[in-house]
Amino acid sequence: MPGVDHITFKTTPLSGRGTRTKRRSRSLSTSSADSYSSGSYSSSSEDDGVSPREKSQQNTTGFNDFCVANINQAAFGRREIEIAEQEMPGLILLRKRAENDKPLKGARIIGCTHITAQLAVLIESLGALGASVRWSACNIHSTQNEVAAALAEAGFPIFAWRGETEEDFWWCIEKCIMNDGWQPNMILDDGGDATHVLLKKWPDTFKLIKGIVEESITGVHRLYQLSKTGKLTVPAMNVNDSVTKIKFDNLYCCRESILDALKRTTDIMFGGKQVIVCGYGEVGKGCCAALRGLGAVIYVAEVDPICALQACMDGFRVVTLEAVVRHVDIVITATGNKNVVCRQHLDRLKNGCVVCNMGHSNTEIDVNSLRTPDLTWEKVKRQVDHIIWPDGKRIVLLAEGRLVNLSCSTVPSFVLSITATTQALALIELYNAPAGRYKQDVYLLPKKLDEYVATLHLPNFDAHLTELNDDQARYLGINKAGPFKPNYYRY
């Protein structure tokens, strides 16, 4: 199987649009709300009060190596997967081109990501490319139970359901790792929890891993920490900072999903509302653009002068949160930091203010500071709570400070096609790379593969690339087939 140097997939036209141990507290772990994929807002699970771990289930073929909410929901999940496939043309095209080559034959992948219709397309694509997989959820709130059932019905070992407890969460990851006669050699992680468990509990097995692909800011940060301390003994690929991921998953995706999440949970009208967005990175830029388009008055809070200047040039007022906290109608965090909105801010918010997080973790809003005897929590509906002060003031807290678009809405399947294709190519590259190409360190996705991800999606728009001639390519000092930009280029 080729690596970065050349790609020789057969071209096929895409038809249509087509035992418990002490662990980190899950309330402190950031990865359960990391970025990627869409949560199922309307749950289809049957809340019978029985934990899936206590149920004895099997699919129609007798397969029982899974733990999902209700295997009988498989037919509904299959329909959702089929819909997602239609909006994931790049990933489907990659599957068609590479399926005969089986570039992942022999790969045994532990996956810890969101379990959604879009991720199901990725999981089934990895299987079609030759991989054997075992999968758990990285987010206790975002699993689509019917999709998990559909995957289990298709014979995939899936251990995930919406509303897992902290104990359930770690149990599911361990079930993916512990299986007689099956030993993982690749990890696809979203937040670093599967990597963490394997490294801590099975260090000898961890050393046999051929590569880790990490999709989230939190997980990438953990990998760099492991590398810095000399504990990373295998190559890892940081796909979070690939161009296609940053631009599409962060900017374009959040530009649509922030409105979806707020509308579904609050039915709020945005025209004239005062909104402060904390953080003007790609996520913050997407949120601001969407809200301004519907007539909201936008303020931006930033610590980075470059991002602050960008916000000014885009026509937004850059202020401190303290300066406007008494007047805003909506507070959105998108910084990747901790304690961005603290109790002192929450105490000063106006009655009815909506507070939510679009960042990569559940640490941006200090939700624990609201769990005090003087405040009353009133459940409005799933993922929506009123926090009531003694004087009667109330604020609306969404998803308990976790990632709001994953917990309360959906994310466009097309965007996730781009992200999932990036992950699949990174797995193929690491698994097939010759000895010595990648050391025990963290690498960015090669530029050539980043461009290939984009190329796979262009036919969906009937887009036709202009080709350089030999003279132009020599003038620019590049190959006619790319990469077209140096690694330091800022798109």
Mean pLDDT value across the chain: 89
Contact 138, 191 (CB under 8 A): yes
**What is residue 11's predicted lDDT score, i.e. its pLDDT?**
41
Both tokens of residue 51?
């934990």
Q: How confident is the model at residue 393 (pLDDT cuts 50, 70, 90)?
A: very high
pLDDT at 372 over 90: yes
How many percent of the chain have pLDDT more than 70? 90
Mean pLDDT of all residues in 203-230: 93
For residues 45 and 390, which has the higher predicted lDDT (pLDDT)? 390
Contact 321, 278 (CB under 8 A): yes
Nearest 5°: phi and psi at 395?
-120, 160
Q: How confident is the model at residue 125 (pLDDT cuts 50, 70, 90)?
A: very high
Beta-carbon contacts of 230 under 8 Å, excluding residues fewer than 6 positions away, are none
Helix pair angle (193-201, 217-228), 10° resolution? 30
Mean pLDDT of all residues in 225-246: 93
pLDDT at 357 over 90: yes
pLDDT at 256 over 50: yes
Q: Strand pairing of 132-137 and 158-159? A: parallel
**What is residue 489's predicted lDDT score, i.e. its pLDDT?**
86
Q: How confident is the model at residue 8 (pLDDT cuts 50, 70, 90)?
A: very low
Contact 384, 267 (CB under 8 A): no
Considering the entire predicted model, what is its pTM?
0.82
**What is residue 37's predicted lDDT score, i.e. its pLDDT?**
37
**What is residue 4's predicted lDDT score, i.e. its pLDDT?**
45
The SS3 of residue 170 is helix
Q: How many CB atoms lie within 10 A of CB 342?
A: 13
pLDDT at 36 over 50: no
Straight-line distance from the first to the last Cα atom of the chain, in angstroms, rounded to the nearest whole number: 30
pLDDT at 475 over 80: yes
Q: How far is CA 409 from CA 25, 39, 134, 262, 343, in A?
A: 26, 6, 26, 8, 27
